[in-house]
Structure 1
Amino acid sequence: MESVPIDRSIAERVRILRAEQGLTLDELAEHSGVSRAMISRVERAEASPTAALLARLCEALGMTLSGFFAEVTDVSSPLSRQQEQRLWRDPHTGYLRRSVSPPGMPSRVDIVEVEFPPGARVSFPPRAESRSMTQHVWLLEGELQMTIGETVHHLQPGDCLFMDLGDAFDFHNPGQSPARYAVILDRGR
């Protein structure tokens, strides 16, 4: 998966979104559960947020990760060319996230492609604010173990798991090769 890297824009995007909503660092920290010091480090580009941390910030800012990574533009195109799709690599797990959906479209659905390294694990706590959102996780290659609450699902290529984003969940690649999967997210708003 090769495309346009966006690591350098995360700091500016968090800072702008926080300012647009009139939130102080302390208020964003309170809403997200992320420390004020960490948010400050992210905004100064001194720390690269993990997927779980960035998801908490996005939730507190009232958006999805896909919305966060969507390029802000006045002109939207219904076509999203692969070479123009935005990429982000989680600094903790090394997973690579590609925003596939064309940005700026009037759709509740976002499509994301993920390449998840062998042995990688990402956990998300329960989030009441996300109860209106659901997603399908469609495994294309490799293995994926999904834990939702107390239930463990072992996905093989071709399997698709539907889930509520308000629940606690965990992605784990127990295999020896990368797992590649698509996430089809419905914001439900």
Structure 2
Amino acid sequence: MNYGQRIKYFRTTVGISANALAKKIGLDPTTIYKIEANDSKPSLGSLESICAALGISLAEFFTEEEQVLEPEVQRLLSTVKKLSLEQVDYLQKFLESLSNDF
């Protein structure tokens, strides 16, 4: 598995820079760049922190199925995962109202 490519894929899907990701999890930005360039492999702890910051689980990270969703949809899903159940309900109603307008 190419850890660097996976991290970069999820990072760009979420729309966060390598510097912002590093800052968010308390790593030096050069560490993220080295991981993404496959010059280094992250420790399990670092990988857990990276996944948490990107809004994905370790299971999602290691699933090698081809992603069939567009990056914009992946970003939306990542955001929705952070919402409370009540917020998801409001979002669902809002989206349904938009689809009824068409």
User: After TM superposition, is the score higher than 0.5?
Assistant: yes
Quote the residue 1:73 is aligned against: 66
Quote the residue 2:39 is aligned against: 46
Residue 73 of structure 1 and its aligned partner are, at CA, apart by 2.6
Answer 1 or 2: higher relative contact order, Cα 8 Å, separation at least 6.
2
Quote the residue 1:34 is aligned against: 27
Q: Residue 59 and residue 74 in structure 1: after superposition, are their counterparts in 2 closer, same or farther (change >3 A)?
A: closer
Residue 61 of structure 1 and its aligned partner are, at CA, apart by 0.4
For residue 53 of structure 1, give the secondary structure of its aligned residue in structure 2. helix
Q: Which has the higher strand share?
A: 1
Residue 74 of structure 1 and its aligned partner are, at CA, apart by 6.0
Quote the residue 2:85 is aligned against: none
For 1:14 and 1:74, the matched residues in 2 are separated by 14
Q: Is residue 12 of structure 2 the alignment partner of residue 19 of structure 1?
A: yes
- What are the superposed Cα offsets for residues 8-63 of structure 1, whole Å, 9 maximum, x if unpaired? x1110011111111111111112222221100000000001110111110110011
Q: Which has the higher helix share?
A: 2
Which of 55, 58, 72 is the matching residue for 1:62?
A: 55
| Counterpart AA for 1:34 | L
Runs of 4+ in 1 over 3 A off after TM superposition: none
Residue 66 of structure 1 and its aligned partner are, at CA, apart by 1.1
For 2:15 and 2:23, the matched residues in 1 are separated by 14
| Counterpart AA for 1:31 | K
Q: Residue 36 and residue 74 in structure 1: after superposition, are their counterparts in 2 closer, same or farther (change >3 A)?
A: closer
- What are the superposed Cα offsets for residues 138-187 of structure 1, whole Å, 9 maximum, x if unpaired? xxxxxxxxxxxxxxxxxxxxxxxxxxxxxxxxxxxxxxxxxxxxxxxxxx
For 2:48 and 2:33, the matched residues in 1 are separated by 16
| Structure 1 portions without partners, runs of 5+ | 1-5, 76-189
Root-mean-square deviation (Å): 1.6
Normalised by the length of structure 1, the TM-score is 0.34
| Structure 2 portions without partners, runs of 5+ | 69-102
Question: After superposition, where does 1:7-156 map in structure 2 within 5 Å?
Answer: 9-73=2-66
